[in-house]
Amino acid sequence: MDGLLLVNKTPGMTSHDVVSRVRRILQTREVGHSGTLDPLASGLMVLLIGEATKLSAFVTEGDKAYQVGLKLGITTDTLDITGQVLTEKKVECSDEQLKSEANKIQGEMILPIPMYSAKKVDGKKLYEYAREGEVIEQPSKSMTFWNVEPVQIGKEVQFQLACSKGSFIRSWVQLLGEKLGCGAAMSSLVRTKSHRFNLTDALTLEHLEVLPKSDQVKMLIPLDQALNGVKSLRIKGQDAILMRNGQISHQLRIQLISKFNPDTDEIIQILPEKRGQILALIGLEKGVGFKIKRVFRYDTEAARSVE
């Protein structure tokens, strides 16, 4: 079982909970994920199964999209409704003012990272500092937001938006509350898109659990479809044999020189004759030349039994 699995996470579960349960369902330890979701959040998690775990650094690079719920008039220490309330104010903004201010919070900006997050400072997670009451300078980072659109305005407030990798939706909510003058805390969060993958294509853990083994395998996105937009070369024969042994053949090196653009390409994927697999990922290192970043190995007997 090698590929990507799209799961619709329910609120209340940690990302680790999801991974642990999928390990039990699929009966494999080789399960990872490409982006943590807080327990409060729900929606799309892209899980990496088997040899797909080697793609982690590349699958997580994509942009993401969310639908976020807001509670206006309060601020909390965690920036969401699970935290301790710090301030309460009357909400006096109009619906039009709310939409107008939200629309302004788009583009690239430097925002503070929530203190209750897993971001590390000096080898220690921010939430560990916060829980221990240790005061440190709150770090900031560049975050980019776009496609901000109201979904529901009124007693319940919800927006949909897209953001760059590593952006914190709670930081966006906090800034909106400051602009409105009443404060705001995140009340719900649904990830609707990650990289090129959509929540509409995900399945729940309950659904996955009742599927026959053969159908579970069919739900996996093949490895050669995981890195959309990354250039590829398909090889066979002696070129493939050498690659499986961690060597780049002379003929393949010639093809790499022709196809790889050092200004735009970080890696290129090497594909075998067999569809659904990746043989290797190759990058270009200054002063070294082409270097194999990852080599993928498959249980061919297991693959034949599935077919």
Q: Which residues are catalytic?
A: 38
Q: What is the DSSP-derived secondary structure letter of residue 203?
A: B
Query: Do residues 40 and 80 lie in contact, with contact meaning Cβ atoms separated by under 8 Å?
Result: yes
Calpha distance 130→114 (Å, rounded)? 10
Residues 6+ apart with CB under 8 A from 129: 115, 121, 135, 136
**Torsion angle in degrees (nearest 10) through CA of 170, 8, 58, 21:** 110
Residues 6+ apart with CB under 8 A from 95: 153, 154
Calpha distance 268→208 (Å, rounded)? 32
Calpha distance 290→249 (Å, rounded)? 11
Q: How far is CA 227 from CA 85, 164, 230, 266, 267, in A?
A: 42, 17, 6, 12, 10
User: Given CA atoms 248, 252, 256, 257 in this order, what sign does their dihedral have?
Assistant: positive
Q: Checking DSSP bridges between strand 42-49 and strand 140-152, what pairing results, if any?
A: unpaired
Helix locations, the chain, DSSP H: 15-26, 56-59, 95-104, 126-132, 169-180, 205-210, 213-218, 237-244, 250-259, 300-306
74, HSE (Cβ side, Cα atoms, 13 Å): 16
